[in-house]
C-alpha cells in the first residue's frame, strides 16, 4: 500500500538516515541553553540506557540503542559515549558533527572526565540515569534533574516535527490496513501482529506498539486490546479491536479501530461503537488552543449517558512520550485531580474512546492522534473511520 504523503514528506523518507535541518537542531539547542540557564547549570548530560530515554535522539539525531551519554554545552562541540563497540561506527557515521567515542563499558567514567575537562561544576541531567550512577557522579559534581524541563520542551511540536509525525501516522495507517487485510478465520492473534508489522516495516517504520484483541460478539470476554498477542484464533462472528503505533524514528502515529469478522455487529457492539464515535466527535469539537481540562471531560458525558464507561485513558498527550493531559471521564477519572493546564497550538494528543460495558466484558476502541490548532484540530491520520467489517 503506497503511503499518502506530501512530496516534502516523501523526500524525508528517501534520506539514508534522516535528520532534521540545522535550523531545527539549533532551535532545540537554544531551548536547552535556556533551560540550563534557568537551572544554573553550566553543562548538560543527556542519557539513554537500554533504549530508554529519547532525549539523546532529540538533541543529536542518534537513537541511543544500548547506552549513550551526551555532554552538551552551548556553543561547544557535543561529545557522546556509545555502547556497544559495534554501535559506535554507525553513531559516528550518523553524527559527524560530534565527538563520538566507544564507552568501553565505562561510559559514565568517560563522561565524568569530559565534564571535568570542560570545567563543569553544576550539571543538568536529562534521561534515565540510574540511582547508583547518579550517586557516583554526584560525588564530584552538583547535579540537577532537568527531566521536567525536557517534557515541557517536547510538548509543543515544531513544523518540521509535524512532518515526521505525519509520516508516523501514515506508517501506522499502513499497519492497520495490513492487519485488516490479514484478518480471517483461523488466523491467530500472533499472526495478526505479524501482518500488522508487514504493513510498515517495508517503508522503514518500526514498532512502537500493536495492541490487538479478539473476542466473540455473542459471548464477549474482552474490553480492551491486549498488550501481548495470544494464540487464540479468529472465528466468524468475532470482533477485533486494535491500537497501532508505528515509529518513523522517534515519531509515531497512533490509530485505534474496531471491526467485525464475517458478520454484522450485534446490537451491543453497534451501541458501544456509536457511543465511542460520538465521544470522539464531542471531545474533538471542543479542542482548540486554550481548551480547559473541564471542557474536555464534560464532552465525554455521552458515554455515561448511554450507560457505558471506559477502561483506557480517553485523552493523552503524545509525541516523544505519554504526556499530559491524561484524562478519563467522570465515571473513570485518570487521577485524583485534573491537570492544571490548557491545550496549546501544535500539541499532539490522542483521543481514544475505549467504551466498555460496566461489567467489563465487552468494549470497543476508536480514535487517533491529532494536532491541536489555534481554532480546532487537524487529523494526521487518513485511515477510514467507522465500524468496519472483513469478509
What is the average pLDDT value for the chain, to the nearest integer?
Answer: 97
- Given a contact cutoff of 8 angstroms between Cβ atoms, the answer to whether 153 and 35 are in contact is yes
**Are residues 125 and 205 part of one domain?**
no
CA 323 vs CA 148, 271, 329: distances in Å: 11, 30, 17
With a pLDDT cut of 70, the percent of the chain lying above it is: 100
Domain membership flag for residue 41:
yes
The pLDDT score that the predictor gives to residue 2 is 80
For residue 164, which of 250, 56, 65, 244 has the smallest C-alpha distance? 250
The pLDDT score that the predictor gives to residue 125 is 98
**Are residues 373 and 228 part of one domain?**
yes
- Given a contact cutoff of 8 angstroms between Cβ atoms, the answer to whether 128 and 53 are in contact is yes
Domain membership flag for residue 1:
no
Per-residue pLDDT tens digits for 190-242 = 999 999 999 999 999 999 999 999 999 999 999 999 999 999 999 999 999 99
Count: domains in the chain: 2
Q: What angle do CA 113, 114, 120 make, to 5 degrees?
A: 95
Domain membership flag for residue 50:
yes
Domain membership flag for residue 378:
yes
The pLDDT score that the predictor gives to residue 247 is 98
Q: How far apart are the first and last CA of the chain?
A: 19
Q: What is the CATH number of the domain that holds 369?
A: 3.90.230.10
Domain membership flag for residue 375:
yes
Q: Residue 30: give the domain boundaries.
A: 8-155
- Given a contact cutoff of 8 angstroms between Cβ atoms, the answer to whether 180 and 192 are in contact is no
The pLDDT score that the predictor gives to residue 351 is 98
Domain membership flag for residue 287:
yes
**Are residues 205 and 116 part of one domain?**
no
Q: Which of 100, 131, 155 is the last residue of a domain?
A: 155
The pLDDT score that the predictor gives to residue 51 is 86
Give the start-end residues of each E strand in 217-322: 238-248, 251-252, 255-261, 309-310, 315-317
**Are residues 212 and 342 part of one domain?**
yes
Counted residue by residue, the chain has a size of 391
Rounded to an integer, the average pLDDT of 95-110 is 97
Query: Distance (Å, rounded) from C-alpha 214 to C-alpha 28?
Result: 43
**Are residues 83 and 165 part of one domain?**
no
**Are residues 37 and 12 part of one domain?**
yes
**Are residues 221 and 359 part of one domain?**
yes
Q: What is the CATH number of the domain that holds 143?
A: 3.40.350.10
**Are residues 177 and 117 part of one domain?**
no
**Are residues 212 and 81 part of one domain?**
no
Per-residue pLDDT tens digits for 317-334 = 999 999 999 999 999 999
- Given a contact cutoff of 8 angstroms between Cβ atoms, the answer to whether 58 and 68 are in contact is no
**Are residues 176 and 259 part of one domain?**
yes
Per-residue pLDDT tens digits for 103-150 = 999 999 999 999 999 999 999 999 999 999 999 999 999 999 999 999
Q: What angle do CA 285, 354, 280 make, to 5 degrees?
A: 10
The pLDDT score that the predictor gives to residue 357 is 98
**Are residues 243 and 274 part of one domain?**
yes
Domain membership flag for residue 380:
yes
Rounded to an integer, the average pLDDT of 233-253 is 98
Does the pLDDT at position 342 exceed 90?
A: yes
Q: Which residues pair with 44 in a beta bridge?
A: 72, 124
Per-residue pLDDT tens digits for 28-78 = 999 999 999 999 999 999 999 988 999 999 999 999 899 999 999 999 999
Is 252 buried (19+), middle (13-18) or exposed (0-12) by CB count in 10 A?
Answer: buried
Does the pLDDT at position 3 exceed 70?
A: yes
Q: Which of 122, 155, 188 is the last residue of a domain?
A: 155
**Are residues 278 and 368 part of one domain?**
yes
Q: Which residues contact 216 (CB under 8 A, 6 or more apart)?
A: 235, 237, 238, 239
Per-residue pLDDT tens digits for 277-288 = 999 999 999 999
Q: Which residues contact 280 (CB under 8 A, 6 or more apart)?
A: 351, 353, 366, 367
Domain membership flag for residue 3:
no
The confidence band for 1, taking pLDDT boundaries of 50, 70 and 90, is low
Q: Which of 125, 155, 185 is the last residue of a domain?
A: 155
Q: pTM here?
A: 0.96
Amino acid at each position: 500500500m503506497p503511503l499518502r504523503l506530501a512530496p516534502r514528506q516523501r523526500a524525508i523518507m528517501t534520506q539514508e538516515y534522516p535528520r532534521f535541518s540545522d535550523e531545527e537542531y539549533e532551535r532545540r539547542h537554544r531551548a536547552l541553553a535556556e533551560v540550563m540557564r534557568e537551572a544554573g547549570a553550566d553543562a548538560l548530560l543527556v542519557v539513554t540506557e537500554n533504549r530508554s530515554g529519547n532525549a539523546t535522539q532529540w538533541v543529536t539525531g542518534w537513537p541511543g540503542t544500548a547506552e549513550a551519554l551526551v555532554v552538551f554545552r552551548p556553543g561547544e562541540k557535543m561529545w557522546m559515549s556509545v555502547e556497544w563497540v559495534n554501535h559506535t561506527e554507525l553513531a559516528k557515521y550518523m553524527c559527524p558533527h560530534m565527538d563520538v567515542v566507544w564507552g568501553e563499558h565505562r561510559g559514565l567514567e568517560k563522561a565524568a572526565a569530559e565534564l571535568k575537562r570542560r570545567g563543569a561544576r553544576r550539571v543538568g541531567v536529562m534521561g534515565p540515569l540510574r540511582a547508583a550512577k547518579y550517586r557516583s557522579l554526584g560525588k564530584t559534581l552538583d547535579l540537577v534533574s532537568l527531566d521536567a524541563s525536557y517534557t515541557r520542551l517536547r510538548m509543543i511540536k515544531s513544523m518540521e516535527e509535524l512532518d515526521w509525525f505525519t509520516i508516523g501516522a501514515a506508517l501506522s495507517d499502513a499497519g492497520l490496513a495490513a492487519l485488516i487485510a490479514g484478518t480471517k478465520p483461523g488466523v491467530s492473534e500472533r499472526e495478526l501482529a505479524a501482518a500488522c508489522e508487514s504493513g510498515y516495516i517495508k517503508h522503514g517504520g518500526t514498532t512502537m506498539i500493536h495492541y490487538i484483541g479478539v473476542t466473540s460478539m455473542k459471548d464477549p470476554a474482552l474490553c480492551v486490546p491486549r498488550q501481548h498477542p495470544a494464540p487464540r484464533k479468529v472465528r466468524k462472528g468475532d470482533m477485533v479491536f486494535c491500537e497501532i503505533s508505528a515509529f518513523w524514528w522517534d515519531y509515531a502515529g497512533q490509530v485505534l479501530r474496531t471491526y467485525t469478522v464475517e458478520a454484522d455487529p450485534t446490537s451491543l457492539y453497534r451501541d458501544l461503537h456509536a457511543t465511542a464515535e460520538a465521544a470522539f466527535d464531542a471531545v474533538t469539537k471542543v479542542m482548540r488552543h486554550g481548551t480547559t481540562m473541564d471542557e474536555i471531560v464534560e464532552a465525554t458525558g455521552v458515554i455515561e449517558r448511554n450507560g457505558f464507561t471506559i477502561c483506557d485513558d480517553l485523552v493523552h498527550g503524545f509525541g516523544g512520550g505519554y504526556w499530559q493531559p491524561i484524562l478519563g471521564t467522570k465515571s473513570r477519572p485518570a487521577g485524583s485531580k485534573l491537570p492544571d493546564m490548557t491545550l496549546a497550538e501544535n500539541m499532539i494528543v490522542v483521543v481514544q474512546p475505549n467504551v466498555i460495558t460496566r461489567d467489563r466484558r465487552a468494549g470497543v476502541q476508536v480514535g487517533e492522534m491529532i494536532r491541536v490548532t489555534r481554532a480546532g484540530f487537524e487529523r494526521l491520520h487518513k485511515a477510514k473511520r467507522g465500524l468496519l467489517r472483513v469478509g
